[in-house]
Chains A and B, each alone.
Chain A
Amino acid sequence: MWCSEQAANDIAACSNDKLFSEAKQNLMKTLGAEIAGKLTAITLTMLIVLPAIAIFLFAASSYLSSALVPILPFDAGTNGKILFAIRAVCIAVFISFAYFWLANWMNFKLSNTDSERGQRVTEAIQPWIFIGPAILLLFGFLVYPTFETFRISLTNDIPLLDALGNPVLNDAGDMRQTLGFVGFANYATVLTSENFWLAIRNSVLWLFVVPTTCIIFGMLIAVLADNVRWGTFAKSMIFIPMAISFVGAAVIWRNIYADGGTATHQIGLLNALLSPLGVEPRFWYEMEFWGNFFMMGILVWIQTGFAMVIFSAALRSVPQETIEAAEIDGATPVQTFFRITLPQIYSTVVVVWTTLTILVLKVFDIPFALTANKADKLLLATYMEQTRNSQRDPELAAAIAIILMLTIVPIMLFNLWRIKVEARDG
């Protein structure tokens, strides 16, 4: 357009311009090809060189290790293991450092960085070296598996047919099976299985109880700790369970919930506390149905610290004037909290709620460690693992995984949307 307007005035200049832009386009094309080529070269080199270095270092260090084993203080087995650990850790970390350094070095060596063109090429390749490992890993371990799991969830064992469409029989005369497309049959199987609905029932219970209880306790502790002198100490005590594993927490709470001991001594604290009230001693988390609530208690114990920390920070951000104004107007502390403070930190409550909800949907360790996947304690995650491992049915497990994701996605999307809205509103 621009050229044709100019044409009347200065044909020569226009055609020059046109030529120039074509040349530029061509340059860009060859530049693109060059960038892609060099990037491929770097990638391939890394894929070959890095594992080779790793294997070489591992083999080379094994000599050093066998020389050191007799010198170290423990028995030979432990010494060997410790040296293996040191070698493995050092090599793994070194290799990932080496990638960035080597790839960068190659990038500068492959192009002549004195020329403008060479500089452009290295500049264009640079970001891909930096994000390359992240993108590769994310695609290999999250993006591809998501689609692959969905594909697997649509397949299952079907009779193997020959070219004429007749079933192929094995030596025993049974129909041979093969993996094939079954549409949504796996989902139908899952949706009609009793255990699935038990898992759903329990998941819903956990979803209602755990985030709510954590939020109530977390808020209560955050508010109380603001009002006493030893609040910081109290908060750090409540916070500590965040550091330990769910399995460790399960062992800790076993001492509270356990049944047993002698006629005069209980070893479970809860039984000891309740027996004066005439409650029969029992193994609390093994109870049919109600046992779920005692396992929820463990998660509440771990996660209340999280809610508390977030609320503590949020409470500090509430403008003091608003609270003082309410107090001057004669509001009681409870009124002030519910009418003035809570509305101002409402969005934080939502953050905590969504985070805990997602966490609860994925809870696996506690019921797995304590009840070995008993049917009435199943959750979605343990139900999936039970299907995959005990029933050896990865296709059904894939369907459950997809269902699990579908339950999480809406909450996550809500969360991301909320972050975006908040970022926009400042």
Chain B
Amino acid sequence: MARRIIASLLLLALVLVWVVPFGGLLITSARSTKHANETGFWTAFQTNEIGYSFKTKGKEAVERIGDDWVIKGNIFDERNAADQDLAAQNNEPKTFDIHGSVARFGSGAANPDVAAPGETIDIRDGQFTLHENGDYTWVFETEYTKSGKTIGVRVAHPPQFGLRNYKRAFADGRIPNALINSFIVTIPATIIPVMIAAFAAYAFSWLQFPGRDLLLGIVIALLVVPLQLAFIPVLSIYANLADWAGDLSASLGWCSGQECDYPAKTFSGLWIAHTAFGLPLAIFLLRNYIAGLPRELMESARLDGASHLQIFTKLVLPLSLPALASYGIFQFLWVWNDLLVALILGPTSDLVLPIEIQKQIGTFKSELERLNASAFISMIVPLIVFLSMQKYFVRGLLAGSVKGG
């Protein structure tokens, strides 16, 4: 029994190490800029003291009360209203409201720790009082003629979550664009190799032709070749093809001048490259499976006069669906998550998600909430595919732990 408990605790600790980082991503992606960049994600469920600088109202708001000139307001309401206006002007989604209670405040952004809420301090010859709920009064003996003053406030901010970062990511254009690009790349680059490999695997297991074993040997040997080896020649093939296609359409009069500079890196180039790079493993896995289908079945279908295409589509494909699914999910995840091939052979203006995220790691250094939201968006599709087809994925792993990704 004690052994069970120890095992449980140890496993729990390990699972936490695996799950907490995911939690960090989700939590950070749902927080405000201030929260995400100044406090740790593990403090997101508690009240955090966060330093803000607020601008008070100025001479335009001065009222005469008795002998005094008085400015009254609420720092939170004013700031939230201003933030919403700015967001609306920039066509951005609604900002996170600052709410909570004043913990300390001071006369400048740099010294927020001077006074406690309810206390009065001297600012520009006036008596400035800030209450816990953000209400302030600023009392002068002579008329105040300047604009507002920036004050530093430490706000005890209760937990706050929202979808603003996701809305911003979708409104921004780059992430939706990258999402669509990832679909454009991934769907054909998954279906085409599965189909080509299935046909080849069928031929390698059930058809007779000269050089069959040699060719199969070569295909399996190609599992050895790292992708890096292919990049430089393939890139120059693509560049030559683009030049040639440009010249051809120029001579046919389909385009002129700059229009004829076709890009060397295209979606179709990426499809073909991913297809080719995935084939050795695909043929290896599918051949193992298809060769194991019952011989009598194939022979009786032949005797009944079925052509090979018919046997393949009506018999082999339905029977090998599990293997096709195993390899398909493998290839899907591999292509969706691929950075290297897309970076080298993919279109330079239409980026796929991993490249977009990689760029955002650099650009959103002080907007971590946006970086995390983008990263989570990039993971949704593979996570859905993975969780719904985990069984097939595991089967594929067990069948072909030969290729190293």
Q: Could you tell me the distance between the alpha carbons of A251 and B363 in the complex, rounded to whole angstroms?
A: 13
Against A, the Cβ 8 Å flags (1 = close, 0 = not) of B185-204 are 00110011001110110111
Return the chain B residue nearest A364 by Cβ. B340
Asked if A42 lies at the interface with its beta carbon under 8 angstroms from chain B, I say: no
Against B, the Cβ 8 Å flags (1 = close, 0 = not) of A267-278 are 111001000000
Which residues in window 43-78 of A have CB below 8 A to B? 77-78
Chain B residues within 8 Å of A172, by CB = none
Chain A residues within 8 Å of B176, by CB = 78
Chain B residues within 8 Å of A254, by CB = 361, 368, 371
Asked if B327 lies at the interface with its beta carbon under 8 angstroms from chain A, I say: no
Query: Would you call A92 and B200 a contact (CB within 8 A)?
Result: no
Query: Would you call A135 and B220 a contact (CB within 8 A)?
Result: no
Query: Would you call A145 and B233 a contact (CB within 8 A)?
Result: yes
**B41: which of A146, A231, A255, A394 is its contact (CB, 8 Å)?**
A255
Query: Would you call B188 and A248 a contact (CB within 8 A)?
Result: no
Asked if B252 lies at the interface with its beta carbon under 8 angstroms from chain A, I say: no
**A245: which of B184, B220, B232, B354 is its contact (CB, 8 Å)?**
B354
Query: Would you call A243 and B402 a contact (CB within 8 A)?
Result: no
- Chain A interface: which of B2-10, B82-90, B145-153? B2-10
Asked if B215 lies at the interface with its beta carbon under 8 angstroms from chain A, I say: yes
Query: Would you call B224 and A148 a contact (CB within 8 A)?
Result: no
**A260: which of B37, B234, B339 is its contact (CB, 8 Å)?**
B37
Query: Would you call A221 and B202 a contact (CB within 8 A)?
Result: no
- Chain B interface: which of A12-20, A156-164, A234-242, A320-328? A234-242
Return the chain A residue nearest B404 by Cβ. A358
**B18: which of A127, A301, A413, A419 is its contact (CB, 8 Å)?**
A301
Q: Could you tell me the distance between the alpha carbons of A236 and B220 in the complex, rounded to whole angstroms?
A: 31
- Chain B interface: which of A81-89, A183-191, A201-209? A81-89
A92-B188, A137-B275, A152-B233 are known contacts. Are A267 and B339 too (CB-CB below 8 A)?
no
- Chain A interface: which of B43-51, B132-140, B318-326? B43-51
Which residues in window 253-298 of A have CB below 8 A to B? 253-256, 258, 260-262, 264-269, 272
Which residues in window 34-67 of B have CB below 8 A to A? 36-43, 48-51
Return the chain A residue nearest B224 by Cβ. A412
Q: How far is the CB of B17 from chain A (nearest CB, A)?
A: 8
Asked if B225 lies at the interface with its beta carbon under 8 angstroms from chain A, I say: yes
Q: How far is the CB of A278 from chain B (nearest CB, A)?
A: 18
In this complex, the member of A84, A96, A130, A398 whose beta carbon has the largest number of chain B beta carbons within 10 angstroms is A130
Return the chain B residue nearest A416 by Cβ. B220
**B223: which of A128, A131, A246, A412 is its contact (CB, 8 Å)?**
A412
**A267: which of B224, B233, B307, B368 is its contact (CB, 8 Å)?**
B368
Which residues in window 383-405 of B have CB below 8 A to A? 383, 385-387, 390, 393-394, 397-398, 401-405
Q: Could you tell me the distance between the alpha carbons of A77 and B402 in the complex, rounded to whole angstroms?
A: 43
Query: Would you call A143 and B218 a contact (CB within 8 A)?
Result: yes
A89-B187, A369-B339 are known contacts. Are A261 and B38 too (CB-CB below 8 A)?
yes
Query: Would you call A248 and B357 a contact (CB within 8 A)?
Result: yes
Query: Would you call A240 and B383 a contact (CB within 8 A)?
Result: yes
Query: Would you call B10 and A224 a contact (CB within 8 A)?
Result: yes
**A126: which of B200, B207, B378 is its contact (CB, 8 Å)?**
B207
A93-B192, A134-B219, A251-B371 are known contacts. Are A228 and B339 too (CB-CB below 8 A)?
no
Query: Would you call B40 and A352 a contact (CB within 8 A)?
Result: no
Query: Would you call B11 and A221 a contact (CB within 8 A)?
Result: yes
Against A, the Cβ 8 Å flags (1 = close, 0 = not) of B260-276 are 00000001100111011
Query: Would you call A138 and B398 a contact (CB within 8 A)?
Result: no
Query: Would you call B226 and A247 a contact (CB within 8 A)?
Result: no
**B184: which of A88, A141, A251 is its contact (CB, 8 Å)?**
A88
Asked if B177 lies at the interface with its beta carbon under 8 angstroms from chain A, I say: yes
Chain B residues within 8 Å of A146, by CB = 225, 229-230
Chain A residues within 8 Å of B215, by CB = 131, 135
Chain B residues within 8 Å of A404, by CB = 226, 228-229
The contact sample of 7 A-B pairs, CB cut-off 8 A, is A240-B386, A247-B358, A255-B21, A269-B40, A355-B402, A358-B404, A405-B225
Where the two chains meet, the residues of A that have a C-beta atom closer than 8 Å to any C-beta of B are 77-78, 81-82, 84-85, 88-89, 92-93, 96-97, 100-101, 104, 108, 124, 126-128, 130-131, 133-135, 137-138, 140-146, 148-149, 152, 217, 220-221, 224-225, 227-228, 230-231, 234, 236-248, 250-256, 258, 260-262, 264-269, 272, 301, 304, 306, 309-310, 313, 333, 351-352, 354-362, 364-365, 368-370, 372, 381, 384-385, 388, 394, 397-398, 400-402, 404-405, 408-409, 412-413, 415-416, 419
Where the two chains meet, the residues of B that have a C-beta atom closer than 8 Å to any C-beta of A are 3-4, 7-8, 10-12, 14-15, 17-22, 24-25, 28, 36-43, 48-51, 173, 176-177, 180-181, 183-184, 187-188, 191-192, 195-197, 199-200, 202-204, 207-209, 212, 215, 218-234, 237, 267-268, 271-273, 275-277, 279-280, 283, 307-309, 312, 333, 336-340, 343-344, 353-354, 357-358, 361-362, 368, 371-372, 375, 378-379, 382-383, 385-387, 390, 393-394, 397-398, 401-405
Q: Which 9 pairs, one residue from A and one from B, show the smallest C-beta to C-beta distance?
A: A358-B404, A141-B276, A245-B337, A243-B386, A130-B203, A134-B200, A359-B404, A251-B375, A92-B188
